[in-house]
Each structure stands twice: as structure tokens, then as C-alpha cells.
Structure 1
Amino acid sequence: MNYLDTPSGRRIAHHLSPGRGPCIVFLGGFRSDMEGTKAVHLDDWARGQGRAFLRLDYSGHGRSSGRFEDGCIGDWADDATETVARLIDGPVVLVGSSMGGWISMLVARRLGRMAGFVGIAAAPDFTEDGFWSSFDEGQRARLMRDGQIALPSAYGDPTIVTRRLIEDGRRHLVLRDPAPDMGRVRLLQGTDDADVPRDTALRLLDHLRGDVRLTLVKGADHRFSDPRCLSLIEAALRDVLAPDSQGPAPGPS
């Protein structure tokens, strides 16, 4: 475990496994961290393949500095972009889980050098198309008046949605603008996902350019982390990485 201090004063926890490029970068979801099942499993898989692999905690997540409630999409995209830019030379393959799919598109827009993208229940623009669009007038009024509201969560403590999260999210929407170059793209989506509807995956499929394929997995939920789903993520990564040639191990820029 190592830490990187960003120009904004945030301290970002990360783990970089050496290997040949393109480096695989795992970008997790809303309130998740780099010790989650998918992140750790894929790190182990990449080491077995001799592949470089980077995982990190956004500010307010896991072991990074800050409070979750103080963060927003722009902050977390800055954290990811700065970490990748400073630690990895050359092309990258981004693996974006849920919110990490949105972060991946922002990183691609800012950084470029994309060799590919694997989206797992990718949730671009979810603060607007998920949270805000589902709020009734009372919830919207409380959010604007009090600065936050609490929503029940199937994953433990209530989810705190802040006014800053919503307003910042609007400044970083990606499905309303031309898509960045993501390289070869493989999207994975469970049909029993209660958090990200399959319509989002279809919209993303239409939005992205180039070699883009979507796999719908019957019965899979949002976690997408049982052995069958983990095997499908591995297969998607092998597919994205297939055309590349061996490159140097990543190091500090």
C-alpha cells in the first residue's frame, strides 16, 4: 500500500503491481474501495498473467484522506487522473465498475492513451439520471434546502446524497457530449441489477465509438462478483488485451 499526494491536498491510497503493459487500472464504484472482491481478484489475475495492475481509493473512500460526504464526481475523477498520470507510463486499460465507468470516461477524456475499457454495470451520469430524476419534489426541496438527503441502501448505512454531488455531477455529464476514445470496449451488465438498469448499458453501447460489445448476463446482480461473473470479467480483459504487444513495466512518470 502506498500513498500519493495530489495538488489539491488529498492523499490517495493505491497499490501498483508491476508487469508488462498496457497497465490495467481498476476504478471502483460509489462508496466502494480497492479491497473489494473484483479489485483484489483482478489484481491476482493480472499478476498471474504478468500484467501491470493499479487499484486505488478515491478521496473519502477506503484508506484515502477525506470524508465521503464531502466528495463529488469531479474530485474523484481528479484523484484517478492524477494517480494514473503520475504512476503509469504508456497506454492503459481501464476497468470501471458502476460509478467507475463514469470516472473511466472522464479519465479517458483528460488523459487519452486508452488501450481499452471494460465496463462492469457502468453508471455514467447516475447523479442526474439516477438520483435526481428519481427524487420527488419533496426530496428535491430538502436537498436544495438542507444540502443533503439520506437514502436507504441495500449495502448497509444510508447513502448520503449531497447538493454538491448533484450540482458537480451536472458539470461532468458524459452521455450528452461526444464520447472520448476508449479503445476496444467490452461492457458487462447483469439483468437483475437493481441499481443500474440495462437501459443504461444500451445507451452507453450506442454512445461509445469503435469496437464496442455488450454482454447481458441473465440473473447477475449489481455486485457482479460471483465466480461466474469474475470469469466473464477476465474473458473481457483477455479480449481487450489480445491485440497488444508486450511493453515495458510501468514506473513513475
Structure 2
Amino acid sequence: MSATEFFDSPQGRRIAYHRSEGQGPWVVFLGGLKSDMEGTKAVHLEAWAKAQGRAFLRFDYSGHGESSGTFEEGCIGDWHEDTVAVIEALTKGALVPVGSSMGGWQALLLARALPERIHGLVTVAAAPDFTEDGYWASFTDAQKQALEELGHVELPSDYMEPYIISKRMIEDGRNNLVLRSDLSLPFPVRCLQGTADTAVSTETALRLVDHVACDDMRLTLVKGADHRFSDAACLALIEEAVVEVLRAAG
């Protein structure tokens, strides 16, 4: 496996990445909250892309994996800046972002920021607007008070140690919502969602499909698949979705 490389962003953050040259469009993996570029989906897609001779990029947001900073300092807007900076510096031409969970939100923000470069889009258990519709909407009065007084709350996770959610993350999330205003995706979009996902609901996936203006958008529900969406069958579905988007867009 190639060694991790690093990019210093215009915002002064040191971003870790793995990049492999090949035929465009570039497939770019956008990971989830507190995940990193060494996850099963990211590494599997890289191997697939290399076997296909396809250009590929995976990276760690600031406060994640090998990149600089701490998770508690970050927010959706910071990670959007990281995404745009890395892509502008390390890729050229058309893109096919593959966004997992929070990475699905990041993919939608990327499509809004660089629409002319998006060839197609794939999401896996996309979690747009989760800071508002998931966290804030479910906070108790005591948690909202703690957010004001302490500046953060601690939330349990089904997959790792508790999340520390800062007041800044909630407030910044409101500046990056994508389901409250028009969102046009004029390219092929494929969304994958497990019915046994306890982190992102099927209703969220349906809401996204209903909200977006797109002439070629499909949602695949996988019975029994959980939020990881990383067993062999699910990984094959991700591959198929990427191939379909590449083919559909010409």
C-alpha cells in the first residue's frame, strides 16, 4: 500500500490523503463522521479503481484519521473547506464523489460548490442536515442547556466511543443545510440505504430523493443492511452504483 501523503490547505490544516492517477472522471471517497480513509469502503473502492485504471482519491477531514486538528474543534463547514481544497489541489476535470453518511452531506455541498465538475454522484446512507434534524431535534432541554453552558454535549454511538458534539458544530450546521432550499443535481445520482441502519433512517433517504431536482436519481434499499454497509454484497452494490453513474453520464 502506498504511503500517506499530506496537503496543507489554504485554511492552514494538514490533510492526509491517498491519491492514484488513472482515467477520469476522478472517483473521490468522502467518509463519515469520525471515520477515516482507512475504512473498508474507502480502501475497497481504491482497490477497485486501481484495477479499473480509474483515478481515485481518499482523504481524512481535519480532526479525523491522520489529518491535523481534533474532532471536537471541527464542524461541517470546516470539513467542506477541506473537501473543496483537496479536490481543487489534487484532481482535475470531472468528479464522481462517493459520500458515506456525513460524507453524503459533504457530497451534496460539493455539488453545490463545484457543479460544473460533478459527473455523477453516489451516496451510501447519506446523512444531510443531521446536526439539525438528528442531533438538535432530539436534544432534551437539559442537553440544550449543557450546550449553552458547557459548549458541548456527549452522545453515545453504536459504533465507537461517544461523540462530543460542540455548540459550534450545531450552529455551523445551520449554515450548511441542504434540505431547506432548492437543490439541483443535473447529473446521475445513485443512493444506497440499508433498512437496518440505526444511525440514518430510510425516511431520511426518501426525504432526500423527494427534495432534490434530478432527472436521473435512484434509491436502492437493502433489506437488513446496517449503517456500515460494508459486507461483500454491499461493497459490490457500491461498485455497481459507481459504474452505473459513470456509464449513465456518458
TM-score in terms of structure 1 length = 0.95
Stretches of structure 1 lacking an aligned partner (at least 5 in a row)? 246-253
Q: Establish whether residue 82 from structure 1 lines up as the match of residue 85 from structure 2.
A: yes
Deviation at 1:180, TM superposition (A): 3.9
Whole-angstrom CA distance in 1 between matches of 2:165 and 2:139: 11
1:128 to 132, 139, 160: 132
Question: Does structure 2 conserve the Cα–Cα contact (< 8 Å) formed by 1:105 and 1:182?
Answer: no
Question: Does structure 1 conserve the Cα–Cα contact (< 8 Å) formed by 2:188 and 2:248?
Answer: no
Whole-angstrom CA distance in 1 between matches of 2:192 and 2:155: 26
Counterpart residue identity of residue 194, structure 1: T
Counterpart residue identity of residue 246, structure 2: L
2:13 to 10, 15, 35: 10
2:202 to 192, 198, 204: 198
Deviation at 1:244, TM superposition (A): 5.3
Counterpart residue identity of residue 132, structure 1: W
Structure 1 stretches of 4+ moved >6 Å: none
Counterpart residue identity of residue 222, structure 1: H
Distance change (3 Å), C-alpha of 1:65 and 1:93: same
**Which residue matches 1:166?**
170
Q: Establish whether residue 58 from structure 1 lines up as the match of residue 95 from structure 2.
A: no
1:184 to 181, 184, 188: 188
The equivalences for 1:234-245 within 5 A come to: 234-243=239-248
- Residue-pair matches, total: 245
Question: Does structure 1 conserve the Cα–Cα contact (< 8 Å) formed by 2:14 and 2:67?
Answer: yes
TM-score in terms of structure 2 length = 0.96
CA offsets 1:132-189 (integer angstroms, 9 cap, x no match) = 1011111111111110011111222111111000000000000111114362100000
Pairwise CA RMSD: 1.0
Whole-angstrom CA distance in 1 between matches of 2:178 and 2:23: 31
Point out which structure has higher relative CO (alpha carbons under 8 A, 6+ apart).
Answer: 1
Whole-angstrom CA distance in 1 between matches of 2:192 and 2:139: 27
Question: Does structure 2 conserve the Cα–Cα contact (< 8 Å) formed by 1:74 and 1:169?
Answer: yes
Question: Does structure 2 conserve the Cα–Cα contact (< 8 Å) formed by 1:192 and 1:222?
Answer: yes
Counterpart residue identity of residue 240, structure 1: V
